[in-house]
Structures are given as C-alpha cells and as structure tokens.
Amino acid sequence: MFNFKIKKQSNTSRARTGVLTLPHGEVQTPIFMPCGTKASVKSLSPQELVDLGCQILLGNTYHLHLRPTSELIAKMGGLHNFMRWDKPILTDSGGFQVFSLKDMTTGSKKKNKLKLTEDGVEFYSYIDGSKHMFSPKNVIGIQKNLGSDIMMVIDECADGKSEKKYAIDAMNRTHNWALKCFDEYKKQCDPNKQTLFPIVQGVTYEDLRIKSAKFIDALGSFGIAIGGLSVGEPKETMYKMVDVVVPHLSPEKPRYLMGVGTPEDLIENVYRGIDMFDCVLPTRLARHGAFYDETGRKNILNKKYELDESPISNCPLFGLNTYSKAYVRHLMKEKEILGARILSMHNLWFLFNLMEEIREAINNDRFDEFRLNFYTKWEDYKPNNL
C-alpha cells in the first residue's frame, strides 16, 4: 500500500518528480498539502478542494486531540469518514503546537506551562485548562485513531535562536522519542494502513543537522521529514540547512519539509530535492486580505484596488475569474465570508497550479528555465544563486 516511485530526476539540480502511493490514493510529487487543522481547510468543502487540485491534506493531532478528541473521531470511522475526504491525509504529531503555543493563556486563564521530560511533554489545554501529556505512546495512539495515511513522530522543535547546547539536547530527545514512536507503531498500527515519518532536527547548526539526518535515515522509515525550519530564520539559512541535510537522506524515500508554503520557498526547496510541503499560509493570508499574483503577494485592502475591475484570479473554477478586485475588496472590508472564501480558493489554486507547473517543467527538463522565468516577475524575493 506504500510506494514511492521517482519519475524524473533533474540533471542540473536535486529537483525530481515522483508518484507517492498511499492507502487512499496516489499523489504526484512535488506536492503542496493544505492544512485541514481541525478536520477542515477553513471555509472550503472537500469537493471544492478536489476541484482546485488538492491531492492530500494535513490534519493536526494537537487540535483534534483536544476537540473533538481522537476517540470520538475513531467512533465516527476515522478522520477520512468524519470529514468526508477520500484522498490521503497526513497528520502531524502535535509537538510543534505544544511548543509554539506554550505561552498561550489557557481556557481557565492559567499560564500554559510546559513540563518537558524524556518521556514526553506535559501541557495544558488552551480551551479549558485541562492537563494533557504527549508521549511517543499516546501520539501514536491518537494518530491511529485518526486513521491518517502518514503519521509523524513527536519531536522537539527547538527555537531557531537556541544555543547549541540546548539544540543538542532537543535533537537527542527527538531521536529518543523517534525510537520509542517506532516501537509503539509496531505494537499499535497496521503497516498496510498507516506509515510513520521521523523528523530531522538540529536548529541551524550544520553538524547537528548532518548528525540528525544520518540517525533519522538509518531508522529505515518509508519517508523522512525535515522540521524546525521556516520558523523565523532567514530564507538563505533555511535553504542552506536543506542543502546540508538532503545528501544524507536515502534518495528512494519521499522528503517532507514541514511548515513551508510561500511560492518562492516551494520552488527553492524543490530545487534542493524536497518532495512534500505543508503550510497554513494560503488560507491564513486570505482571511487577512492577502492574495498571490504572478508578481508576488498583494493585499486586496489596499486603496488602489477600490476601483480595480480586473479579475482577482485566473482560475476558471467557481467563477473566481469573474470577481473583480474591487468587489472582493468590498467583501473583505465588510467582513463578508464570501471574500475570504474567494481569496482562500484563489491562493490554494495558485499554489496547486504552481506545483503542477513545477512538475511539468522537471519532467520536460526545463526546471532551471522555469525557475529563472518565475523570478523575472516575482517581487517578493530573489535567490542569491540565480
């Protein structure tokens, strides 16, 4: 039920295309996965996602564990049946949210203090202040209940500014938890229905990233994730860490860069050999009025769009190419739900379409040309190595 076949390897970069076969279908790589954080990609139906080009989406273990609980979802037949999504799902372990939300006030107004041990991490719900523990055993159990095609080990995503000593401790803890997660996976899960990806950590220290990549690759997993990047460090630093890690990963395994989703980051990391990406950005930006066009990220609330009759999108689906920028601006100013839906659908379509163009360019031996042409118009960022 699990297979990854490389279709085309670029002769001039690490870019490649492939077919990822999972229990709920095939996925063409490189691929962008939108975040259905709480069993929904905000404001969009499963059929709309399929029509826009979504092949696989991500569910969030942390949020689904807190509400409605993985036990309830299991009783409803798993996450696929619960949300009526019949294509593949990847679930994260919730570790990133535990650490990133550590300063959030809980539902009971208590400070959300973390208790980190070698066995896992104890935290309080931001909803009601109840105490919870994420350990290798229960994050595997939660994801088993969810029934995702791809599960993730629990890891410690150390702050990007961490001193090296702490980075080493966090990396070692991540490695230890990975070993325990695989033990639990073998005990709890059906390997024909679910697979488990471990995660490379090491902050921005090259030697730690290399050490982690070698350790994680040696676990013999079907695929591998790279975590702890795109968390505030400069883009060139992120790209450098990917350059450092990828040569130490087995080429036959799909490579997943977690939490990355700007157009330039997709292109630059495909160039460096990454196959899978996820990010909340396209829909989160949409809810704040931001959208992509061929020159970069724009904000529809800008005064210059007040009388702009040009279409908000080139996407022919759902009439997106019939809505003027002036109209969408009006909707967003008035906080009408339709405005956020239009921008969300457009932003997702933009990224899905970009990934399709990337795959086509790689398959036709013109990815370098595609990359160069993209940056002739893109205003948000220019890489140093063009």
What domains are defined for the chain?
Answer: 3-279 (3.20.20.105), 286-365 (no CATH)
Active-site residue set: 92, 278
- Across 151-181, b (16+ Cβ under 10 Å) vs e yields bbbbbbbbebebeeeebbebbbbbbebbebb
Average pLDDT over residues 5-12: 98
Neighbours of 291 (CB within 10 A): 22
For residue 234, what pLDDT is reported? 95
For 225-241, letters b (16+ CB in 10 Å) and e give bbbbbbbebebeebbbb
Average pLDDT of 351-375? 98
Confidence tier at 105 by pLDDT (50, 70, 90): low
Cα separation, 122 vs 60, in Å, equals 18
**pLDDT surpassing 80 at residue 355:** yes
Q: What pLDDT, on the 0 to 100 scale, is given for residue 144?
A: 98
Confidence of residue 113 (pLDDT cuts 50, 70, 90): confident
Q: Is the pLDDT of residue 112 over 80?
A: no
pLDDT at 342 over 70: yes
Which of 95-109, 291-305, 315-329 has the least mean pLDDT?
95-109
Helical packing angle, 206-217 and 164-188, nearest 10°? 10
**Residue 171, phi-psi category: left (phi > 0), alpha (psi -120 to 50), beta (remainder):** alpha
Query: Residues 105-124: what's their mean pLDDT?
Result: 75
Go through the chain and tell me how many residues it has. 386
Q: What is the pLDDT of residue 302?
A: 98
| Per-residue pLDDT at 109 exceeds 60 | no
The predicted structure's pLDDT at residue 98: 76
Q: Comparing C-alpha atoms, which of 187, 71, 103 is closest to residue 137? A: 187
Banded pLDDT at 104 (limits 50, 70, 90): low
Residue among 62, 63, 51, 58 nearest 36 (CA): 58
